[in-house]
Structure 1
C-alpha cells in the first residue's frame, strides 16, 4: 500500500464523479476495489461504480467522459452493466455503470442465499468503498447488508466444499500430470476459501481471492497458516502439494461442521475421500 498512490487515485476518481454527477440521472457513485479499501499501489486501477436512475445512453456516458477531460479506451455493455475504461495520467479507471434497481435486485438475491460471486463483489464495493455522490442512497444499500444471512453461509459452505476428490488429485500426482493437477489444486483452494468466507459470515471481496494475505486476515476461523500453506502447495512437488491441500480441506470440513452445523458436509466429505480403486 502507498498512501500517495491511494490519495492520487481518489483525487482522480473525484474529478470523474463530478462529471458524472452533472447529470441528474446519476443517483450515486463510489470508488471501490483496492483504492476504496486503501490498499492501492502504483499498479492499481481505479474501480469507479456509477449508479443511474435509468439506463444511460451512449451520449450520456460520452458526455461524462468528456466533461472530466478524460479519454476513453474501451466501452462495453451487457444487460446489467455499462463499462467504460478511461486512461488518466497513466492510471486506468474502470467505470462500472448500473441502474439502481439492478443493485436492489442483486441485494435481494444475495440476501436470499445466492452464491454468485459477482453479487458479493457488489456488496463489498458498497460496504468498503468510498461514497463520492449520493451518500444516502449508498447508506440505504449498506444498511440492507449489515447482517450476513445464514442461508448464504450454508450455501457457501455446501458449494465451496464440493471438491475434486482426493483420489483424483493423488492419481494426477502419481502420473506427474502437473497441468491438470494444478488446475484442480487451484479449483479446490478456491472452494476452500469460498467456504471459509461462509463459515466466517464475511462478504467475499473478490471472486478469485485476489488479495490472499488480506483475505486471510478477514477470516478469524481458518486453518492455521492458511496463506502460507496455499503458497507452499502451489510450488511444492506434486505429492507434497496434494498432501498440503488435503490437510487444508480436512480442517475446513471440521470448521464447517462446528460453525455452520446447518450445512450437512458429511456427504461432501465422503465424496472427497471416496476411493473407487484400492
Structure 2
C-alpha cells in the first residue's frame, strides 16, 4: 500500500471524532519526496484537548504498536506507532487555536523560530485530508511570505556562529570533531539566510531534503548543493576554504537582492579569524 493511501485510510478513523477539526498530511509524503525509508506524518487539529483514549483509539483500531507516546509539551501531544503492515505514523496533535496562534507569531510578528516555522511550512506544503475549509483558510494566511520575516532571517543568520572565528586554530590543531560541528553550524546559518532571500519557510531545523530545497531556490550560489556536500566530505582545508568562498557569495547575494539591509557589522565580524 502506498503511504498516501494509508494516510487517507487512517484519516478516516481520526475524523470520526467530532473534536477533530482538520487533518493535514505533512512531511515527505505530502511533498512527494517519499522513499523506502519514509513514514507518514499527520497533523491532527482539535477543537479541544484530546483525551488519552481519543489518541489511543486510532492506534488500537489499526492494531498498531506504540513506539513513543508523549504528554502535552511544547503546545502539542505527539505519538508514534507502527501499523500492522509495518508502516510508521508520526502524529502531532494540536489545538486549532494553537496553530492559528503560531501562524500569527510567524506571519504578523515575524518570529524566526524554526520550530514555529516548521509548523507553518507543514501547513503551507501539506495536503488536506479532512476539514478542507479550515485548512485552506490557514493556507491563505501564509501564502505570501512576509518581507519583514525575510529581513530578519537574513540579518539574524548572517551573524554566523561565534566559533567560526576559531576555524584556523581548529584546522592547525586537527580538532576535527569540533571543526565539523562548526562547519555544519555555519552551513545551517547560510541556509537560514538563503531561505529568507528566497521567501521559503524553514521546514526542518536541520534543513532536511537539502537537494530538493536547493532546487527550489531562485537565489543561490552556483552549484550550491554540490559545494555544500563536498564541504562535508572533502579534505578539511578544502572544506574551510570553500565555506569561506560560499559565505562571500551569499553576502554578495544579500547586497544584490536585499540592498536595504545594513549588514556592515555582520561583514566585519565574519572577516575575523584567529
The answer to whether the aligner puts 1:144 opposite 2:141 as a matched pair is: yes
Q: How far apart are the structure 1 equivalents of 2:261 and 2:182?
A: 24
Note if contact 1:52-1:100 (Cα within 8 Å) is conserved in structure 2.
Answer: yes
| Further displaced range: 70-79 or 203-212 | 70-79
Greater mean deviation of Cα atoms: 230-239 or 45-54:
230-239
SS in 2 for 1:137: helix
The one of 148, 159, 169 aligned to 1:162: 159
**Structure 1 segments of 4+ aligned residues over 6 angstroms from their partners:** none
Structure 1 position 16, deviation (Å): 1.4
RMSD (Å), alpha carbons: 1.4
Aligned to 1:265: 263
Contact 1:25 1:52 (8 Å CA) reproduced: yes
Call closer, same or farther: CA 1:260–1:251 in 2, change over 3 Å.
same
- Aligned-partner Cα distance in 1 for 2:270–2:79: 43
**Distance across 2 between alignment mates of 1:164 and 1:75:** 35
Report the 3-state secondary structure (helix = DSSP H, G, I; strand = E; otherwise coil) of the residue aligned with 1:246. helix
Structure 2: 5+ residue stretches without partners? none
Between the aligned partners of 1:153 and 1:82, the Cα distance in structure 2 is: 30
The alignment's TM-score, normalised by the length of structure 1, stands at: 0.93
Residue 111 (structure 2) pairs with residue 109 (structure 1): no
Matched, 1:189 2:183: no
Q: What corresponds to 2:90 in structure 1?
A: 94
1:73 equivalenced with 2:67 (yes/no): yes
Displacement of 1:160: 1.4
The reply on whether 1:29 has 2:23 as its aligned counterpart is yes
Secondary structure, counterpart of 2:36 in structure 1: coil
C-alpha deviation, 1:172, in angstroms: 1.0
| TM-score, L = length of structure 2 | 0.94
Q: How does 1:1-40 map to 2 (within 5 A)?
A: 8-40=2-34
Distance 1:15 1:68, change over 3 A: farther
How many correspondences in the alignment?
A: 270
Distance 1:184 1:241 in 2: 11
